[in-house]
Amino acid sequence: MITESLVLSAILFVIGTFGVLVRRNAIIMFLCIELQLNAVNLSLVAFSRMWGIEGQLFVFFVMTVAAAEAAVGLAIIISIFRHYETVNVDSFNLLKW
Amino acid sequence: MSILFYVFAGLAIGGAVGVVMAKSPVGSLLFMVTTLAAMAGTFVLLEAHFLAAIQIIVYAGAIMVLFLFVIMLLNLGHDYQKDLRGGAFAVLSFGVIGGIAGLLARQLGATGSLSGPGAGAIDAAIAEHGALGAIAEPLYTTYVVPFEITGILLLVAIVGALVLAKREV
Amino acid sequence: MYAFLTALAQGGGDAAASEAGHFEPFLPGLVVLLPLLGFVINGILALKHGRDSAAAVRAGGELTFGDRKPATHTLPTWVGPGVMGLAFLITLVNFTRMLGAHLEEPVVVHYWTWIATGTFTVDAALQLDQLSMIMMMVVTGVGFLIHVFSVGYMKEDPGYPRYFAYLNLFVFFMLVLVMGSSYALMFVGWEGVGLCSYLLIGYWFSDREKSDAGKKAFIVNRIGDAGFLIAMFMVFANFGSLDYVPVFHDAEGLAYAGGLVTAITLFFFVGAIGKSAQIPLFVWLPDAMAGPTPVSALIHAATMVTAGVYLVARSSVLFALAPLTSAVVAGIGALTALFAATIALKQNDIKKVLAYSTVSQLGYMFLGVGVGAYAAGVFHLMTHAFFKALLFMGSGAVIHAMHEAYHSTHSHEDAQDMRNMGGLRAHMPITWATMWIATLAIAGIWPFAGFFSKDEIIWQTAAFGGAAGAPYTALYTVYWVMALAAAMLTAFYMTRMMVLTFHGANRTGAEESRHLHEAPVVMWLPLAVLAVLSVFGGWINVPEALRASLLGGAGALPMTEWLHHWLEPLTAQAHHIQEEHLGELAHAAPFGGGEVMWAVISTVAAAIVVAVAIRFVGGRKVVAVAEDTTELTGLSKVLYNKYYIDEFYDRVVVRPIVQGSRFCWKVIDSLIIDGVVNAVGWIAKAFGWGISMFQTGSVNTYAFILTVGVLVILGASLF
C-alpha cells in the first residue's frame, strides 16, 4: 500500500512539474504547483503509516501554508494582470538582459 | 482495498493529465478538483480520515474556488490556442521529468519492502481518541507552537493579499 | 647622526706633531663636511634668492640687482670660498702631519657602517694615505683658488648663490671620491661629481644648447659607469669586499695576466674612459665648455676628469697584474693625446682649444699609469691641474673682458672666438704674463712644471717598452713616438692660441676695444698663485739624472723624485710585481740615447716649435669673424669638424638607439603589452556578456533550469 502510494505520489509530482514547464498561463502554472504540493502530501501521509502521526500533522501544516500561498500568489497575479492585461508569463520579461 | 486504491489512483492521474493538457483554464480547474477528490479517497484508504475531510473542504472547496474566482475575474479562457508550449521545449521538459521519475523509481526499487511501526501507533490512537482526536491530541500539546505560528501566517497572508490586490484609491 | 658627530669630534687629534710612523689625522671628516655645509647654506640662499628674483621680475624689475646686492648674493661670496679655504687649511695640517709621520700603511678613519647586509659591508670611512692626501691638496687648493676667481667672474650672474651651491657640492663629492676607503664610496663620489658636472654644465639651462651639453656629459659618463659597476661586482664576487685594504692585500694571490684580473681592470678602465674623456667617450668634454669658465677650470681640467687617473693609480696592484689592460690603457692614452692635439690645431673657440688640450693631457696621464709609472701619472695630474686651471681662468678673464666690450656696444659677436681677439696684451698684461707661463709649462719647456711631468712619462714609456721582459715592445715604441709627436703639437697649438689672443692687431673693433681692461684683483690673484705653482710645481719630482740642471747645479736642489718616494708605500706592491715579470727597465730609448739626452731634445724641440709657431701664426693674416669668408677645405675642414666624430656617433649609436626605443614604445609597449592588458579586460567583458545571455527574463526558462537543477541534485545524491 505504502509503496503504491509513493509511486502514485511520484507520478503526480512529475506530471505537475511538466505542467509548470509547459503551460503559459500563470494561473494554470500555479495550479500545477498545487498539484505538486498535493503529491507531496500523499507521500507524507504514506510515510506517516510507517513512522507515526507526525506525517499527517505535517500534511495539515502544508495545506495551511498552501492556502495562504495561493491567496497571496493570486493577489500578485491579479496585480500583474492590471499592468499587463494578460497572464501569459512570456510577456513578463522586464528582467531580460 | 487494492482495487479501490487503483481506481482512485487512475482518477488522480487522469485528472492530473487533464490539468496539464486542458485548453481551457476552467477545464484545468475542474480536472484538478477531480484529482483532489481522488486524493481524498486515497487518504481515507491510508487511514488519514481527518486529512481526507480537510482536503475536500479546504483544498477543493476553498482554494479551487478561489482559483475559479480569479479566472472569472480576469475573464480568461478566450485564447485557448496559445496556452500550451509545444515543440522542442516540450520534448526537452518531458525528458527532464522522465529523468526525475526514473531516478525516483530506481530509488524506490532499491529500497526493500516498506513497513514500520507507524501504522500500529496510528490505529491505537484512532481507537483511543477517534479519528479527529488522533490528530488533535499531538497538535494541541506537542506541536502547539507551530500551530499558533500558522495562525499568524494566515493573518499575514490575508493582509498581504488584501494589500496586493486592492486598487489604488 | 649623533654618533657620527661624536666620532667626527674624536677623529681629530691634538695639534702636536705625530711621531714618526704614527699619523694622527686631524678632523678628516671636516674636510669632507665643510663643502657639504657650504652647499646646504648656499642652497638655502639660492632658494630664497630665486624667490626674491622671481618676485622682483614680476614686479617689473630687473633680474640683476645692480650695485646694491641683496644678502642672498653677498653671503655666498664668503661662504663658498670660505668653506673651501677652511677645508684647504685642515688638509694642509693633515699633510704636514703626514710628512713627518713616514706612513707605511694607509690610515682608515671609520665613521659608521653604511651598508651591512649579510656578507656585503660598506663602511662610511675615509682612507688617508699619501695618494689621497695629494689628491686632497690638489682638490681643495686649486678648488679654493677657483672659488675665489668665481666670485669675480660670476658677480653679475642672476643665479649666483646656486652656482656656489653646486660648486661646493661638487667639491664634496670629489673629496668623497678621493678619500673614500672603498670602491663603493669612490663610486658614490664618482656619480656625485657626474651629477654636479651635469648641473654646472647646464647651469644656464634656459639655453637649449647648454642644457643639452649637460645631458650629453651625464649620459656619456653613464656609459662608462656601467663598466665601473661591472668591475665592482667582479671585485666583490672574487674578494668578498670592496674596501681597498683587504682587496689589494688579497690581490697578490691573483694569477698574473690571468683572465679575471684582466677583465676587472678592463671594466674599471671603461669607467675611467667615460669619466676622463678618453677615446671613444671624450665627446662630452668639448661640449661641456657650455658651462661657466671657472666650472671648466675646476671640473674639466683639475679635478673631475682626473678621477679616472686616480682610479687607475689607486688600483695600481690590479693593473700591474694585467699587462694586457695596461697596454690598452697606455695605448688609448697615447692615441687620445695625439688625436685631440690634432683637433686642437684648428679650433677657433678659445675654450674649445683648451678642452681638446685637456683631453690630450689626460691621455698623457693614462699613458703614464699604463706603463706602470703611477707616480709620474699622478705628478702630471698635479702639474696639469696647476697650468690648465690657470689657462682656463685666464681665458675666463679674457672672455669676461670681451663680453663687457661687446655688451657696451650691444654687439652680438662671439666673445670666445679667437678671431675676434688679438693684441690683448696691451689691455690685460697680468693675464698675458700668467697665461704665457702656463703655455710654456704645458709645452714642456724647462724649467717649468710641465717639462718634468711630461718628460717623466715619455721617458717611462720608453724605459718600460725596452725592459727585459716587456710584452709588446714594438707597440710601446709606437706609443713613445706618438707621445713625442703630441708634445710637439701641444706646443704648437698652445702658442697659436696665445698669439691669436694676445698678440698682433686687435680685431675686436675700435669702439669695443676701448672697454677692454684687466680683470679685477679677485680674478687675477688666483692666476698669479697658479702661475707661481706652474713655475716651481714641477720641482718636487725632478728625476735624479736631471738634478744638476736646477738651482745652480751640483745638487743644490733639496730633494729629487720627492713625489715618487712619497707615493712609494702605495705603488711598491705594483712595482714589485712589475720587476718580477718585466725585469729591469731599459736605460735607453728605442732609438738610443739616455734620459738626459731625450729630455734635452724634447725641451729644445718644444722651444723651437714655440718660436716657429709665433712666427708662423703671427705672420698670417687673421680676420674677425664678421668679415671672415674663408671656406675650410681638406684636412683643415676635417680637423675643424673634429673628424666628424659627433656626427658619426649620431648616425651609428644615437639614431639606432632612438629607433629602437621608438620600436619598444610603439610596438612592444603600446601594441603588445597594452594590447595584452586591454585584451584581458576585453575578455572579461566578453565573458560577462556571454553569461548575461542566461538572464532571459522569462519565467519559463527559470523554471526549466530549476527543474534541471533538481534532476542534477537528485542524480548526484542517489548515485
What is the residue range of A40's domain?
2-89
The confidence score (pLDDT) of residue C16 equals 34
| Distance in angstroms (rounded) separating the CA atoms of residues C279 and C275 | 11
- Band (pLDDT 50/70/90 cuts) for residue A68 is very high
Based on the fold, state whether residues B25 and B101 are members of the same structural domain. Answer: no
Residue from C145, C95, C129, C90 nearest C386 by CA: C145
pLDDT, one tens digit per residue, over C41-54 is 999 999 988 888 88
**pLDDT for C200:** 93
CATH number, residue B26: 1.20.120.1200
Could you tell me what percentage of chain C is helix, strand and coil, using 3-state DSSP and rounding each to the nearest 5? Answer: 75, 5, 25
Interface confidence, given as ipTM, is: 0.91
CA distance C469 to C583: 6
On whether residue A80 sits in a domain, the answer given is yes
**Measured between beta carbons, which residues in chain A are less than 8 angstroms from residue C697?**
92-97
When pLDDT is averaged across residues C501-527 and rounded to a whole number, the result is 82
Q: Are residues B105 and B132 in the same domain?
A: no
Answer yes or no: do B90 and B108 share one domain: yes
The answer to whether residue C708 neighbours chain B at the CB level (below 8 Å) is: yes
How many independent structural domains does chain A possess? 1
Residue A83: inside a domain: yes
Distances (CA, A) of C565 to C376, C501, C538, C551: 11, 40, 15, 21
What CA–CA distance (Å, rounded) separates C306 from C314? 12
Are residues B64 and B100 located together in one domain of the fold?
A: no
**Pick from A17, A26, A96: which is nearest to C697 by CB?**
A96
- Amino acid present at B1: M
Assess if residue A95 is contained within a domain: no
List the CATH number of the domain containing A63. Answer: 1.10.287.3510
Contacts 24+ apart (CB under 8 A), C172-177: C172/C32, C172/C33, C172/C35, C172/C36, C172/C39, C174/C139, C174/C143, C174/C303, C174/C304, C174/C307, C175/C31, C175/C32, C175/C35, C175/C87, C175/C136, C175/C139, C175/C140, C176/C32, C177/C307, C177/C310
What pLDDT is recorded for position C1?
A: 42
Which of C696, C699, C708 best probes binding to B when mutated, by most B CB atoms within 10 angstroms? Answer: C708
Largest CA distance in chain B: 62
- Total domain count for chain B? 3
C553 pLDDT band, cuts 50/70/90, is low
Q: Is residue A64 included in any domain, yes or no? A: yes
B2 and B77 assigned to the same domain: yes
Contact C279, C250 (CB under 8 A): no
Query: Grid coordinates in use for A79?
Result: 496585480
Decide if pLDDT at C395 tops 90: yes
**Nearest residue to B2 via CA among A44, A46, A12, A1:** A1
| Dist. CA C120–CA C110, nearest whole Å | 17
- Could you tell me if B23 and B59 lie in one domain? yes
Say what the pLDDT of residue C439 is.
93
Q: How confident is the model at residue C618 (pLDDT cuts 50, 70, 90)?
A: confident
Distance in Å from the first CA to the final CA of chain A: 50
Q: What is the pLDDT of residue C182?
A: 92
Helical (H) or strand (E) element with C395: helix C374-408
**For chain A, which chains pass the contact test of at least 3 CB pairs under 8 Å?**
B, C
C579-C582-C587 Cα angle (round to 5): 85
Range name among B30-39, C100-109, C303-312 with the lowest pLDDT average:
C100-109
The pLDDT of B57-68, averaged and rounded, is 94
Nine-digit cell string for C495: 702658442
Q: CA quadruple C459, C465, C466, C467: dihedral positive or negative? A: positive
Please report whether residue A96 resides in a domain. no
**Greatest alpha-carbon span in chain C:** 123
Assess whether B77 and B102 both reside in one domain: no
Helix (H) or strand (E) holding C358: helix C350-370
Question: What string of H, E and C letters represents the secondary structure of C11-37?
Answer: HCCCCCCCCCCCCCCCCHHHHHHHHHH
Chain B residues closer than 8 Å to A19 by CB: 16, 19-20
Q: Do B97 and A18 touch (CB under 8 A)?
A: yes
Query: Is residue A57 a part of any domain in this protein?
Result: yes
On average, the pLDDT of chain C sits at: 85
Is the domain of B1 the same as that of B76? yes
pLDDT band at C522 (very low <50, low <70, confident <90, very high): confident
A91 to chain B, closest Cα gap in Å? 12
- Kindly state the DSSP code that residue C544 receives in the 8-state scheme: G
Query: Is the same domain home to B70 and B106?
Result: no
Chain centroid to CA C23:
30
- Comparing C139 with C579, the larger pLDDT belongs to C139
Q: Mutating which of A7, A27, A28 best tests the B interface, going by the most B Cβ atoms within 10 A?
A: A28
Same domain, B88 and B62: no
Confidence grade of residue C3 (pLDDT, cut at 50, 70, 90): very low
How far apart are alpha carbons C588 and C466 in whole angstroms?
8
Distance CA C691, CA C446 (A): 94
A27 falls within a domain: yes
Residues B153 and B106 in one domain: no
Chain B residues with CB under 8 Å of A50 CB are 114-119
Query: Chain-centre distance of CA C397, in angstroms?
Result: 22
Residue pair A11/A59 in contact (Cβ under 8 Å)? The answer is no
Question: Quick check: C699 and A97 CB within 8 A?
Answer: no
Kind and range of the H or E element at C128? strand C120-128
Domain region containing B144: 120-169
Q: Is residue A94 part of a domain?
A: no
